[in-house]
Chain A
Amino acid sequence: MSTVKRTQLLPGVFLTSVNTKKFKSSLLSMTLLAPLKEETAAVNALVPYLLRRGSEAHPDLQSLSAVLDQLYGGSIDPVVRKKGEIQCVGFLGSFLDDAYTLDGGGVLAQAAELMGELLLRPYTRDGAFCPDYTRQEKGNLIDRIRAEVNEKRQYAVNRVLEEMCQEEAYGVGRLGREGDVEAITPQSAWARYRELLAHSRLELYYCGSAETDEVCVILQRALSGLPREGGYEVPATVVVPAAREVRRVEEAMDVAQGKLTMGFRTGGVTAAGPDYPALVLCNALFGGTTTSKLFLNVREKLSLCYYASSSLLRYKGVMVVSSGVEFSNVGRAQDEIEAQLEACRRGEFEPWEVEGGRRYTVSSLQTTTDSQGRQEDWWLSQAVAGLTQSPRELAEALEKVTVEEAVAAAKGLSLDTVYFLKGMEG
C-alpha cells in the first residue's frame, strides 16, 4: 500500500509525496500557482517553455537532451494547466526508478537537481531571458493557441466554456491570447518570472520508491536559492450557481461533422461541498459512462452520433455535454439530451443503471492510485482548491449516495450556453 504525505518544505512550498514500489518510474513535478487573469495568462504560459530551453549549466536543447538521455531517457516537460480559476505552470518529469537502473541508481537526486536548475537558474542574456529563445517560444505559443482549432472535439468544449464564462476569470484560455503573446519582451517575461518565483505558491509532487524524508532532503537541496517574499495565497474560484437564460452560439467552419456542446451550472455544487458525491453519481447516470442515458439513447437507440457524453469541471461548478452529430440532426440531438436530463430529474432510473454508474465511478476513482500521472493531477487539483480528500475517500462517499440525492443534483443543473460548430453550407 502506498502512503500520501503532505509536508511544508519552505514558506509557500508544499510537497505531496507518495511512497510506493509498484512503478518502474518515479514522477516528479514542480508547479507554480497563479490566479488566472487575462493580462498575465499568456506570459505565465510562456515561462515554463522559456525555462525549458536552457539553464546556466545546460544552455541549449542539445545539452539538456544529453543529460536527460544519461538519466535513462528521463523527461521534463513544461506544463500549463487550468484548475478552477488558477493557472498552474511548471514542469512534469518522469524518470526510471532507481531500482531499475543498470548502474545502481542516483537518478532521482540528479533529476531533481536538474529540474531545480531549470526553475531557478535559467540561461540569460543581459539580465533577462535570451532574445532568441523568447522569439522562438513566443512563436510556438502562438502556434499552440491557434492549433486548438485543429482538434474540433476539444475545441467545441473550449468554446462553450469561453462563451459561458466570458465574464468570469474561467473564460480566460489556459494559454492566454495571441495578442498578449506578441507583446511579450525578454524583459517583461523575466519580470513576470521573478514575480512568480518570489510570490507564488509552489506545489511539489513526488511518486516513487524513495522515502519521503529522503525526497524532502533532495528537493530542499534542489530548491536552495528560491526567493520567497510572501503573498502565497491561492484565491478561490468564483462559482456561479445558476444560469440566467440560455445563450446560443453558432460558428461555421469547413468541417464534415457538426459538434454540439452544452454548458450547465451545477447549482453551486463543487468538489468542496457535501453534495459533490451526489453530483458525481448524477453525471455518471446522465452521460458519464457507457451505461448512461446519453450513451444508451442518443447513440445506441437513436444512432444520432458516435459520442455523446457529459463531464464535470469539479472546481468550477460546471458540467459540459459534448457530442458530434450530422448538421441536420443537431436539433434532434439537443432535444434528446434535454429529454434525458428531464428523465434524470424525474428519477427514472432502473436499478442496474444506478448500480452500473456507481460501480464504474467507484472503480475509476480507486484505480487513480494505479497511475502516477492521474495521481499527480488529482493531488495538484486538490491542493489548488485547498482540499485533502483522497480518491478512495470520494469513492467511499459515493457508495453512500442515494438515488434521491442524485436526482436532487440533476434538478440543480441549469443550462447556460449551447455552442454548435456547423459546416460552411446550409
Chain B
Amino acid sequence: MEEKKYTRLGERMFHQVLSNGLHIYVSPKPGFQKSYAFFATNYGGMDMRFRMEGEWLDTPAGVAHFLEHKTFDTEDGNALQDLAANGASPNAFTSTALTGYYFESTEKFEENLRILLSFVSVPYYTQESVDKEQGIIGQEIRMGDDEPDTQVFYGMLEGLYAHNPIQVNIAGTVESIAQITADTLNLCHKAFYDPGNMVLCVAGDVDPEEIVRIAREILPEEGHAPVERDYGPAEEERAARQDWSKEMAVSTPIFQLGFKDVPPDRGEEWLRWELLGDLACEALLGTSSPLYARLYNEGLVNEAFSYGCEAYPGAAFLCAGGESRDPDAVRKAVLAEGERIGREGVDEGLFQRLKRAAYGSLVRGLNSFETICVSQSVGHFHGYSYLSFPEVFETITKADVEACIRRVVTGEKSALAVIRPKGGTV
C-alpha cells in the first residue's frame, strides 16, 4: 500500500486501488476506542439523467435517497439491524452529489466491515418493500417541509440556478417518489454502485492491509468506468432570479443569501476554490469582519448566522444565512461591503489573522473521523487529496481573496431567499 505522511498535521494516510477500480483510504488513529468506515458512491440527488449502454435515461427526483434507504435490505433481513446487533452505530446519508454508508464500532470491526461492503454492493430490492418505504420517506419529506432551514436553502438554489439539478430536493416529492419501482432501484444500483464509481475510507486503530484483504474478498473483481451524466447546459453567470420567498410558521424571517460563481476545475483547483471561497466569506462577512460587527450591533444578524461555499458539477456558490428582521438590508450591506473591498482591498492584518484562524479550524476539524473520511471521499471524487490542504492553503494570497469577492459579490449574481412568518407572527 502507498503511505503518505502529513507531518505538520500529525496524520498518515494509506491508499490502494483495487483491480475493480475501488480506491481505499485508511487513516490510522491509535488511542481511539472506535473505528469508522465510510463507503460512498459518486452518486447523489443531482444525478437524475445519465447514459447507460448508449441510451440516455431520466429518473425521478429522489431515487438516490430512496436507494439509500432500501439498500439496507438484504435477502436475509436488514443490514442496519445486523450492524446494530454487533454494537455498531450504522447510518447513511444522501447529499447532492454523493451517497455514503457508514458505521462506527468499538468491537468486531472486521465483521462489521464485511457486512457494510456486502449489503451496499449486493442489490436486493422487492416491490413490496419499495411500496412500504413510500410511507416512511413520505414522512421524511413532510418533516423537511416544516424545516425552515431546508426550505430556505433550496429557495436560494432555485434563485441562483435556472436548471442545474442541484436545486431539486434530494428526497424528491411525494409525487416523484411514487414513480419509483424496484426496477428503477436495480437500474441505478447497476449504474452507480459499481466499485469503479466508489470509494472506501476508514479511520481508526486498524490494520490497513487487512481492510484491503476484506474488500478484495467481498467485492467483485471487475468494475466499470463511471457512467456519463447530464446536468443540462452550462448556467449563465448571473442568478436566474434574485428573490425567492415563502411563508411558514416561524418566529422571525429566516434567510439565505447566495452568490453564484463559475464552477472550479477538477483536481487541486477544486480544493483551492473551496479554501479560497471560505476565506472570502470570512473577509467579507465572517464573525471577525467589520461588516459582521456592524450587522450584529444593528441587530440585523444574530448568533444563528452562518456562511460557507459549495461546489458541484456545473454549480458553485458562496452563501450566508440565518435569522434577520430585515434580510433585504443584510443583502444591501453585503453588496456594499463587497464593493468597498473591491475598491479598497482587504486589510493586510485582518487577512493574516483570518488565514491563521482558518488554518487552526481546519486542523481542529481532523478530530472527527467523519470529517476525515467524508472530506477524503469527496476530495477523491473531485480529484484531490484532502490532507494536502495546508500546502494549497499557503498559496492563497490577499489578492486572490479580493479578486474572488470582486468577481462574485455582485447584485446580478446574488439570490436572496426568505422564509417569512406566516401572517406576520406565529
Contact = CB atoms under 8 A, between A and B. Distances in A.
Contacts of B304: 147
B297 A70 contact: no
A355 interface: yes
B251 A304 contact: no
Given A61-B296, A70-B356, A143 B251 contact: yes
Interface of A: 1, 20-25, 60-62, 65-66, 68-74, 94-96, 99-100, 102, 132, 136, 139-140, 143-144, 146-147, 149-153, 253-257, 289-291, 296, 299-300, 303-307, 324-326, 352, 355-356, 358-360, 362-364, 366-367, 369-372
Interface in B352-387: 353-354, 356-361, 363-364, 366-367
B228 interface: no
Given A73-B361, A352-B85, A359-B85, A147 B33 contact: no
A150 B359 CA distance: 33
Contacts of B126: none
- Give the most central of A143, A150, A359, A369: most B CB within 10 Å: A150
Nearest to A1: B31
B84 A360 contact: yes
Contact of B140 (A62, A149, A306): A306
Interface size class of B (residues with CB under 8 A): 35 or more
Minimum-distance CB pairs A-B, first 3: A72-B360, A359-B87, A73-B357
A94 B364 contact: yes
Nearest to A151: B147
A96 B9 CA distance: 11
B88 A363 contact: yes
A152 B146 contact: yes
Interface string B260-294: 00000000000000000000000000011010110
Contacts of A153: 143
Contact of B364 (A25, A140, A152): A25
B137 to A, nearest CB: 7
Contact of B353 (A61, A70, A149, A352): A70
Given A305-B136, A326-B139, A69 B354 contact: yes
B54 interface: no
Contacts of A73: 356-361, 364
A360 B87 contact: yes
A23 B363 CA distance: 10
Given A24-B366, A25-B364, 11 more contacts: A61-B297, A147-B304, A253-B426, A254-B248, A299-B136, A306-B137, A306-B140, A325-B139, A359-B84, A360-B84, A362-B106
A291 B139 contact: no
8 contacts: A69-B288, A136-B296, A146-B252, A149-B426, A253-B426, A290-B84, A303-B132, A324-B142
B143 A143 contact: no
Contacts of B237: none
A378 to B, nearest CB: 14
A355 B87 CA distance: 8
A97 B317 CA distance: 32
Given A253-B249, A254-B248, A96 B293 contact: no
A303 B139 CA distance: 9
B288 A65 contact: yes
A356 B139 contact: no
B123 interface: no
Contact of B87 (A60, A253, A362): A362
A69 B353 contact: yes
